[in-house]
């Protein structure tokens, strides 16, 4: 081994994180509404925010891209629409990309399931692969915007150093079984929970489904998000804790407060070797993202 670097995940709130590794800085699902403000979900529906984000949008570091699960007001809000650089690449679903381009985000890139988009910095690359997702049960999924998960693969000289999986706002379904077949080794996962209730339906994973997703993907470490920021969330994080204990994966899960950063060492091998993230002995640290 030649040494190690850390991947860091700074938790802003809801599903919003700042991910840094290998010279890349990625923002996920930008939601900067404040406590008491409403996120709009379509069909005249909205949900009131219970919390404040850890930082304001103007405090973000320089970004290379945004990865967006789907177009809902708790993932892409009016603050993001006004405050983010219109030239910033936004990697998302085709439907969301069309809406974003109408909003002036000309670099929005829509990916069909399993399609990829690559960002490059010298000898380093970040490849984002769109993963399957299901935002509602059965035919009701046609009422909600299409959703995707994302696999972020950070590589140097073509060799993957880190795989980071983001669930997106999905329910468990048979289509998700293709993820571990294509990506049998995942270093870090960020999973969206909350058991969100809309129109009488559960449309995001509750604690039991979250544990099932974790068992399916099998990451070395995991961070739950998207579980207590909005009134629409019906499954508290304690449900997830209990079910994760049942499946025997508690030691892999790291719980962050808004404003905390999780660090995971990524061992850099010689060229040609498989690279991997370290174990789960790292701990969250307080403090916002720094330039």
pLDDT tens digit string along 112-149?
999 999 999 999 999 999 999 987 666 556 667 899 99
pLDDT computed for residue 143 by the predictor: 67
Architecture of domain 3-271: 4-Layer Sandwich (3.60)
pLDDT computed for residue 227 by the predictor: 97
DSSP 161: E
Helix, strand or coil, per DSSP, at residue 265? strand
**Model pTM score:** 0.91
pLDDT computed for residue 132 by the predictor: 97
pLDDT computed for residue 280 by the predictor: 37
Q: How do residues 81-121 score in pLDDT, each as one tens digit? A: 999 999 999 999 999 999 999 999 999 999 999 999 999 99
Q: Are strands 159-166 and 149-156 parallel, antiparallel or unpaired?
A: antiparallel
DSSP character string of 51-91: S--SS-GGGPPP-SEEE-S---TTTS-HHHHHHS-TTS-EE
Q: How do residues 23-77 score in pLDDT, each as one tens digit? A: 999 999 999 999 999 998 776 788 999 999 999 999 999 999 999 999 999 999 9
pLDDT computed for residue 136 by the predictor: 67
pLDDT computed for residue 149 by the predictor: 98
């Amino acid at each position: 081994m030649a040494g190690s670097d850390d991947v860091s995940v700074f938790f802003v709130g809801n599903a919003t994180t700042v991910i840094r590794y290998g010279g890349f800085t990625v923002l996920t699902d930008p939601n900067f509404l404040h406590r008491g403000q409403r996120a709009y979900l379509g069909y005249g529906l909205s949900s009131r925010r219970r919390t404040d984000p850890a930082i304001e949008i103007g405090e973000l570091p320089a970004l290379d891209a945004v990865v967006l699960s789907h177009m809902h007001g708790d993932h892409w809000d009016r603050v993001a629409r006004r405050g983010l650089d219109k030239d910033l690449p936004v990697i998302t679903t085709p439907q969301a990309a069309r809406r974003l381009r109408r909003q002036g985000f000309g670099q929005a890139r829509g990916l069909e399931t399993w399609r990829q988009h690559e960002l490059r910095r010298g000898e380093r690359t970040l490849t984002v692969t769109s993963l399957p997702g299901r935002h509602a049960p059965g035919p009701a999924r046609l009422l909600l915007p299409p959703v995707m998960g994302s696999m972020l693969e950070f590589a140097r000289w073509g060799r993957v150093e880190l795989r980071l999986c983001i669930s997106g706002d999905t329910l468990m379904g048979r289509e998700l079984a293709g993820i571990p077949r294509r990506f049998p080794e995942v270093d870090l996962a960020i999973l969206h929970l909350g058991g969100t209730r809309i129109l009488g339906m559960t449309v995001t994973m509750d604690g039991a489904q979250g544990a099932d997703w974790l068992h399916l993907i099998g990451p070395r470490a995991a961070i739950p998000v998207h579980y207590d920021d909005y009134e629409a969330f019906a499954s508290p994080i304690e449900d997830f804790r209990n079910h994760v204990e049942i499946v025997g994966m508690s030691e892999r899960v790291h719980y962050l407060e808004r404003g905390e950063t999780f660090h995971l060492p990524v061992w850099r091998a010689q060229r040609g070797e498989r690279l991997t993230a370290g174990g789960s002995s790292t701990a969250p640290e307080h403090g916002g993202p720094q330039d």
